[in-house]
Amino acid sequence: MKAHTEYFTFRTEKHRQYINITGKVEASLGKSGIQEGMVLVSAMHITAGVWVNDAEDGLLADIDDWLEKLAPYKKDYRHHRTGEDNGDSHLKSLLVHHQVIVPITAGKLDLGPWQQIYYAEFDGQRPKRLIVKVMGE
């Protein structure tokens, strides 16, 4: 089995931002030369996430509204007693999870017709890393 690893750093312009990273993952796969296997895409921070879904602006706005409803920003999270103010960002990350695994078939990401890979930033405007690990033959 072969493996290829790349790291990407994001510094978002907004506190919450969603970035389509499908092209970056496809480029990593291309560099790897792997034809059959899997790619792991994982946010390396506890206030960020990765998901697979449709690349449609209305849906992204709906997801953002839904996350804010389930984990709203508020001042009284117990986590804030540590001096932090990002309790909601941690909860939002838990809701979308921090990583995905995508199959590779015939040297291509084996995604459904509308599926794209997104990096989700919930506590941005500072550098955050993401790992892409391509594994297979």
The CATH number of whichever domain residue 30 belongs to comes to 2.60.120.460
Q: What is the CA radius of gyration of the chain?
A: 16
Tell me the pLDDT tens digit for each residue of 90-134.
Answer: 999 999 999 999 999 999 999 999 999 999 999 999 999 999 999
pTM given for the model: 0.95
pLDDT band at residue 48, thresholds of 50, 70 and 90? very high
How many structural domains compose the chain? 1
CA distance linking residue 32 with residue 135, whole number of Å: 9
Planar angle of CA 128, 131, 133, nearest 5 degrees: 175
Domain extent for 60:
2-136
Q: How far apart are CA 40 and CA 133, in angstroms?
A: 5
Res 117: pLDDT: 98
Q: Which helix (H) or strand (E) holds 78?
A: none
CB 9 within 8 A of CB 127: yes
